[in-house]
Structures are given as C-alpha cells and as structure tokens.
Chain A
Amino acid sequence: QKEVEQDPGPLSVPEGAIVSLNCTYSNSAFQYFMWYRQYSRKGPELLMYTYSSGNKEDGRFTAQVDKSSKYISLFIRDSQPSDSATYLCAMKSNNAGNMLTFGGGTRLMVKP
C-alpha cells in the first residue's frame, strides 16, 4: 500500500463547477501538506501549502487538512478550463528535510 493515495481520475466537470480533490495517507508523522498543479509536459507548481490541520484559502482555492482522518482536500470554486491539469498532493514530516512524498495525481478536465 502506498503512503499517499490519490484517485487518478480523470475527473471531468463543466465550467463553473466546484471541484473537490482528495488524498488519504497512512503516515501520522506527516505535518506539512501541499498541493501542486502540473500542466502537460511541465513541472509541478505549488498551489497551496498548509501546516497541520485546518483550512487555508487563496482566491478560488481552499485546502483542508483533517489529520485525525489522515485526509486532505483541495476545493476549486468557479472552475475554469485553464484549471484543467493534473493535481498532485504532497506531504512531509518534520524530520524529512525537504523530501516530499507525493500522491499519484488526479487528472482534472474542466469543459467549457
């Protein structure tokens, strides 16, 4: 079993929909949680970063962390075709330096 599980999709939604992307994990030592967006043939770019449990909002994006359930989510409001990409969750523990453990990514398609 992988340390971080993520549904590969693809997830197809109409423009304007609210998108929910999720990851589950097994390592209770993870303290830092990130979401990266990766366009085709590009490297991942950091979207959201949270520490421990709680919510964080940035524009149309909201990240949630529930450490008790070992479950993290990324919500995208008013989704746009330009949001079509693969979304990767990543996480690390306090003593991992900057070595991140990634989920496999969810491919999102937002249709006009």
Chain B
Amino acid sequence: GAGVSQSPSNKVTEKGKDVELRCDPISGHTALYWYRQSLGQGLEFLIYFQGNSAPDKSGLPSDRFSAERTGGSVSTLTIQRTQQEDSAVYLCASSLEIQEKLFFGSGTQLSVL
C-alpha cells in the first residue's frame, strides 16, 4: 500500500559524472512519468511510460538523458556527463492507465557541483 518510492532522496555529484535515479511506482499502476522541478519553477515533463507502448520521450532536454522501465514496474532515469544546469528535483509519478490523478513521489534532489 506504499506510495511512489524514489531513491536516493538526495544525490550530490561532480560535473561530468553519470547518475541514476530510481522510481518504484504504486503497484498495479501502468503509467509512469518523470518530471523535473528547478528552484522556483514549475514541473517540466521529461518522459512518460504507458504499459508496453513506446515511451513518450518528447520532454527529455538532451541526449544525455535516458530512462527505462523494466518489467512494467521500476524505472531508472539516467543522466550522463552531468552539468550544473541539471541540478533540480527529479519527480516520478504513476497513475492507473491514462487518468488525471497522478501520484507523485517525494523526488530526488540532484546537486551537480
């Protein structure tokens, strides 16, 4: 009965390093989303998975960003060669099919030094 779980909650990395952020959605939710929230900004859509369909990657800001979802459950967002402008809170959400109610995790605060 747990909600969306994200790990780590905080990640500090050096510029140029790769990072992996993990999202464990609510059991049974077929849709999974990644959003990015920069300081004082609204949420920026990154990528969306729905069941076995090809993901909607239209929000990924560059080819350094990629995401996968294994077995229709856990998702990993990977950022290669991190830059300082990648510093933000990365939020994951899940929903039952395509519904309006998204359930968000608490996010991963990424700091790139």
Contacts and interface: CB of A to CB of B under 8 A. Distances in A.
A112 interface: no
Contacts of A104: 40-42
Interface residues of B, number: 27
Of A46, A98, A103, A104, most buried by chain B (CB within 10 Å of CB) is: A98
A59 interface: no
Interface string A71-112: 000000000000000001010100001111111110000000
Interface stretch (B12-20, B62-70, B76-84, B95-103): B95-103
Counting chain A residues whose Cβ lies within 8 A of the other chain, the interface size class is 20 to 34
B48 A46 contact: no
Contacts of B91: 43-44
B100 A4 contact: no
Interface of A: 4, 6, 8, 32, 34, 41-46, 49, 88, 90, 92, 97-105
